[in-house]
Each structure stands twice: as C-alpha cells, then as structure tokens.
Amino acid sequence: MIAGMRCAVCGTTVDIAVPFAWRCPKATADDPYHVLHILEGGDQPEPIDDPNPFVRYGPRLAWWAFARANGLTVAACEALTHEVAGDFAVTPFERSSVLSDELQLDVWVKDETGNVAGSHKARHLVGILLHLRAAESLGLLTERPPLAIASCGNAALAAATLAARADWPLDVYVPTWMDDGFGDLLDELGARIHRCVRRDDDPSGDPAMLRFREARSAGAIPFTVQGPENGLCLDTGRTIGWEITDQAADAGIRLDRVTVQVGGGALAACVGAGLGGGVRLDTVQAEGCAPLADAWERVIALDRPERYWAKVMRPWPDPHSAADGILDDETYDWIADIQAMVESGGEPFVAPESDIVRAHELAIAAGYPVSHTGSAGLAGVLAARPGIRDGDRIAVVMSGVAR
C-alpha cells in the first residue's frame, strides 16, 4: 500500500491524496537537491489478471493510490488505464541462446524494443499522464498546462507519442545539435520543439535542461524521466522489475544478477525497486561518461551521502560514446541506484568503448533491433565477465530501437 511520497534527502513527506506532487516542497532554485521517493507500507497487492501491466500492477502504483484516495473506484481506475495506456502490454522475457552461447552464461533478455515508442521510456511517463487524467476526472484540473521535457532521444519520442494520444500540448527542449530527422519525428507527433543555444548569462549545465526548468517554473508540467524533476516517473517504471520477477518465476528460474544501463538513472532505480533487492543489481555506464561509478567511490566512504549531493554527484566533463542515450552528465537518480546496488550486493561497472560496440554487434546478431544505448546493459556484462562464474543466470534489458 502506498501512503505518499518522501524526500530521500530531507525526509519531507507528501500525502498520496495531494495532486501534482512532482517535487519535494523544499526544493528551490538555490537548493534543488531533493527527490521524492514512493513511501510504501504493508504487503504488495496481488496482480490483477490483465495483460496490461498498468492494470495488472495498478493497485501497487502511486497514481492509482492518488485516484483511490480522492474517490475514484477500482473500476474507474481500470477504465482510465485502458483509455490512456491501452496499447501497453507485458513485454517478452526470454533466454537468448545466441548470447548465452557466446558468453558462456545463461543470458535472459527483457525485450522493450516492441514497447510503446520503441523503448522503456513510456513506462516512466505514463504514470504522470494517468495522474493528470485522474485529476481531470476528479475536477482537480480544469485547464491543461503544457507538458515539458528536455530530451532529444527515446524519452522525447515517448513523451511526444503519449502527449499526442492524449491531445495534450508538449514542449520539447533540445540541444542545437539534435538530428533533423529525429526532429521531424517529433514534429509529426505535434510536439513543439525548442532548440536551446547557450546564452551568455547561463550558468553551467545543459542549456536544454535550463530552458526546461524555466518552463517548469512558469507552470509547465515536468513530463520527464528524471526523479528530482518529477518523482512520479519512478512509479510506473517499476512495472518492468515486477514483470521480470513474475516472468522468471513462471519460467521456473532464479536470476543471479541483472545488469542495467544508466544515463539519468531512472531505469536502474525502477528495476531495482521492482526486483526488491532479491536479485543482484549491477549498473553500467560508458567510459566516456561514468558519473555514477565516479560517485560510488565517494559514497562508500560517507554516512548518509544524500546529504552531500553536490559533492557526491559531480557533472561529467565532455561526455562521449556511441551509446549517446546514456550520456547524461549527471546521474539524476543516483540515490535510488546506489540504494538498489547496496541492498542487492551489486556494483557499478564502466564499459570501455570496445565493449559498447561489441555488445551492440552481439545484440543485433541475436535479433534485437537496438541502438548502442539499448544494448549497453550487455556491455556491462562484458565488462564484468572476468568476475562472473560460468553458467551464471543474468538478465539484461534491450531497449531503444535503432533509428
């Protein structure tokens, strides 16, 4: 049962019935280092017999708890889910004989390439949209402020896809170097694209993120996959971990570890939360951008490292890799990622660029139409391989169709 949200930094709690609780109430422009995490208590409700993951695991979700606390019935929550997220389904989880034979491991793949917009990103965003639609149905939202996101990759495509289906205006803040072809995709979906140049008076950091935060401060809804900007992105993303847990049980197997690629960190946070610490969670970043692994060395020497956010999580200079979707200069959800690794006995790995390239080649050969970003979890297995026992059963997530 979900009671509310609690800031992982300052401990401030927000009741689950409160609408639009995207960020910690104590977060400010001068002190942005806060993040709301879901506050759970008691046993997890049993899944509902439905192929849609957001119905199946609905009673475990924060948006659902918000709707129920404000008077919506279970039937209304199910109907709203089918209306907003009717084309989502539990994604495949299968053993890859090609990867298993190549690596001399028992490799299982959670395949997100057939998910909405071709990646896992829509999983994180749909909970925000469901919260908004529930608020509308309850009369708590009478006008539609624009949604806003800073991204020029899978997150932006997922956001534009969901916003178009809901007929909700979306502003996408992108760097000046965004590929024109990708911009055409966003334009076709009706997104308003803002190319963000660096201004003379800008502070350090990504100009697209700076413009996104300005829009949020002006009233836009943070429709994003970064927990500090909207804690609800860490809600429905947990379905991927719950699916892996249930699918492994249905297959009669026990996983030894799961390796997850990290950019902003929401995927690893949600997989870790969904697995619940019972399976070792390792993370991987490219050697050209590894702020989480860099922070790990400082975290293990500190008591309550979240109190020292700015000192622990340092922006990475000059991010570069073929896996360009995990080049966030900061791992925004580092607190949840590190907590999941500590609780499960995992650790962060840094993959040399040769492993990023090799993992992509192996993924394509195994039949997964992913980008270098989408196969980067496998690069983590390659990087960790010397310390893995032959025959260990390992899961990776393939996510992000090559475009």
Q: Report pLDDT digits (tens) over 16-54.
A: 999 999 999 999 988 999 999 999 877 788 899 999 999
Q: What gap in Å lies between CA 218 and CA 221, rounded to an integer? A: 9
The pLDDT of residue 147 is 98
pLDDT digits (tens, 9 = 90+) for 123-142: 999 999 999 999 999 999 99
242: its two tokens: 């719950």
Neighbouring CB atoms inside 10 A of 307's CB total 12
> Is 281 part of a structural domain of the chain?
yes
Main-chain phi, psi angles of 301, to 5 degrees: -100, 0
pTM higher than the cut 0.85: yes
Distances (CA, A) of 30 to 186, 192, 310: 33, 29, 12
CA 280, distance to chain mean position in Å, is 18
> Is 357 part of a structural domain of the chain?
yes
User: Could you tell me if residue 359 is left (phi over 0), alpha (psi between -120 and 50 degrees) or otherwise beta?
Assistant: alpha
Contact 101, 34 (CB under 8 A): no
Q: What gap in Å lies between CA 239 and CA 271, rounded to an integer? A: 8
Angle at 374 between CA 248 and CA 382, to 5 degrees: 75
> Is 249 part of a structural domain of the chain?
yes
- CATH number (domain holding residue 359): 3.40.50.1100
> Is 267 part of a structural domain of the chain?
yes
The pLDDT of residue 238 is 97
The pLDDT of residue 303 is 87
Nearest to 84 by CA among 207, 168, 156: 168
Neighbouring CB atoms inside 10 A of 150's CB total 27
As a whole number, the mean pLDDT across the chain is 95
Q: Domain count of the chain?
A: 1
Q: What gap in Å lies between CA 376 and CA 29, rounded to an integer? A: 33
Q: What gap in Å lies between CA 171 and CA 147, rounded to an integer? A: 6
> Is 29 part of a structural domain of the chain?
no
Main-chain phi, psi angles of 186, to 5 degrees: -65, -40
Q: What gap in Å lies between CA 230 and CA 213, rounded to an integer? A: 12
The pLDDT of residue 283 is 98
70: its two tokens: 């404000």
The pLDDT of residue 88 is 97
392: its two tokens: 């260990």
93 CB-near residues (< 8 Å, 6+ apart): 108, 109, 110, 111, 243, 244, 247, 248, 251, 395
Q: What gap in Å lies between CA 9 and CA 150, rounded to an integer? A: 24
> Is 248 part of a structural domain of the chain?
yes
Q: What gap in Å lies between CA 290 and CA 13, rounded to an integer? A: 31
| Beta strands 192-196; 170-175: pairing state | parallel
346: its two tokens: 């995992």
CA 156, distance to chain mean position in Å, is 13
Q: Give the residue numbers spanning the domain of 318.
A: 93-120+235-398
The pLDDT of residue 390 is 93
Q: Residues in the chain with pLDDT < 50?
A: none
> Is 52 part of a structural domain of the chain?
no
> Is 276 part of a structural domain of the chain?
yes
